[in-house]
Amino acid sequence: MLPQTIERDEVERIDRYPTRTGARTAHIERPDPTVWGRIESEELTTFDRDGFAVVEDLLGPDEVALFGAEISRLAADPALAEDDRLIVEKASRRVRSIFEVHKLSGAVADLVRESRVAGLARQVLGSEVYLHQTRINYMPGFRGTGFYWHSDFETWHAEDGMPSPRAVSLSIALTDNHPVNGSLMVMPGSHRTFVPCHGSTPAEHYRESLQEQEIGVPSTDDIATLASKYGIMQFTGRAGSALLFDSNIMHGSSNNITPFPRSNIFLVFNSVENALEEPFAAPARRPTYIGSRDFTPV
C-alpha cells in the first residue's frame, strides 16, 4: 500500500503553550530561553534572571516634552475619534490607548528605529526584530483604570499566533511614575512560568479586552501562587525612564485615583524568527493594528 500523502496545511501544529482550555491546567515551566542573544548594555545584565530591566533616562527632558506634546495632539485629533485604533475608557469614555502610534507620529517612527531603543530588543532576542504592536497608554488622574494581572504572551499566543515568548515590550514613561498613580507592577522571575488560562475566546474578543480584559487572565489562585513565589516589584521613576520586559512576565497596574496622570509609549518587538502563525486559541486573527503581520525588521 502506498503511503498516504499529507498536505502541509493538515499537519497538526505542536502547541507548547496550550491555553484557553476547557479545564484548568497546571502551570508550564518555560522551555524557551529568556535571552537569545548577547547582553552588552549594563542595564540589561539582570534581564535573564528577573525578566525585566529598568533603563534610566532613555529620553532626555527635551524629548519628554516633544513626545508629551505628540501624544496630547493625537488624543485630541478629531480625525481619530471614530478610528478603531483609538480605545476609550469603559466608564469615563476618555482616551485609554491609541494603537499603531508609529504610523500616526513621525517622531515615534524615528524613535523606534534608534539603536538605544530597537537595539535593546536585539540584544535580548538575538536577531533582527520587527514591531508586533505599538501604542500610547493614557491613565488620567482620578478615574484612570488599571490593567489586571496578565501575561502579554498568553494573549499574543492565543489570539495572534505568536509561537514562543521571544518578544519584549518597552514602556517609555512620559510622566513621572509614582507608587500611587497606577504605575506598572511586575513579578520578578515569573517570566519562567507560563500560566494557562481557562475559558474560550469569543469572536472579536479584542473589542472588549482592550477596555477591560476578562478572558485570558489568570485566576486569583494563580496570582497568589506566583506572588508568593516571586514577589512584586513596582516600576517607578521620572519621566524619560523606561522598562524593558519579557513577553511572558506577569504584570498589571492598579487604578489611578490621584490627581497625577500617567502616560507612556509602549513598543513591542518580536523576533523575525518568531513570526506570527494562525491563532492558537481564537476563531480568527486580530486586526493588524493590534498584532502586526508586517515582519519587516526595524
pLDDT digits (tens, 9 = 90+) for 86-119: 998 877 788 999 999 999 999 999 999 999 999 9
* pLDDT the model gives residue 209: 62
Cβ 134 vs Cβ 291: under 8 Å: no
Distances (CA, A) of 8 to 5, 163, 164: 9, 17, 21
Cβ 150 vs Cβ 87: under 8 Å: no
**DSSP-derived secondary structure letter, 232:** -
Residue type for 258, please? T
For residue 77, name the pLDDT band (cuts at 50, 70, 90).
very high
* pLDDT the model gives residue 19: 97
Tell me the pLDDT tens digit for each residue of 217-259.
999 999 999 999 999 999 999 999 999 999 999 999 999 999 9
Cβ 32 vs Cβ 166: under 8 Å: yes
- Helix H or strand E encompassing 72: helix 61-75
Q: Is the pLDDT of residue 2 over 50?
A: no
Q: Residues with Cβ < 8 Å from 26, sequence gap 6 or more?
A: 196
- Helix H or strand E encompassing 252: strand 251-252
Helix axes 61-75, 106-113, angle to 10 degrees: 130
User: How far is it, in rounded angstroms, from Cα 97 to Cα 102?
Assistant: 13
Q: What percent of the chain has pLDDT over 90?
A: 84
Q: Is the pLDDT of residue 16 over 70?
A: yes
User: How far is it, in rounded angstroms, from Cα 258 to Cα 135?
Assistant: 23
For residue 213, name the pLDDT band (cuts at 50, 70, 90).
low
* pLDDT the model gives residue 207: 74
What pTM value is reported for the model? 0.93
Widest pairwise Cα distance in the chain: 76
Tell me the pLDDT tens digit for each residue of 36-71.
999 999 999 999 999 999 999 999 999 999 999 999
* pLDDT the model gives residue 211: 55
111 or 210, which is more confident: 111
Residue 80: helix, strand or coil by DSSP? helix
Q: Is the pLDDT of residue 195 over 50?
A: yes
Burial category of 259 from C-beta neighbours within 10 Å (exposed 0-12, middle 13-18, buried 19 and up): exposed
Q: What backbone torsions phi and psi does residue 274 show, to the nearest 5 degrees?
A: -125, 35
* pLDDT the model gives residue 210: 64
User: How far is it, in rounded angstroms, from Cα 76 to Cα 82?
Assistant: 12
- Average pLDDT score over the chain: 93
Q: Is the pLDDT of residue 6 over 60?
A: no
Span 158-172, average pLDDT: 98
Q: Report residue 19 as a C-alpha cell.
A: 491555553
Residue type for 109, please? A
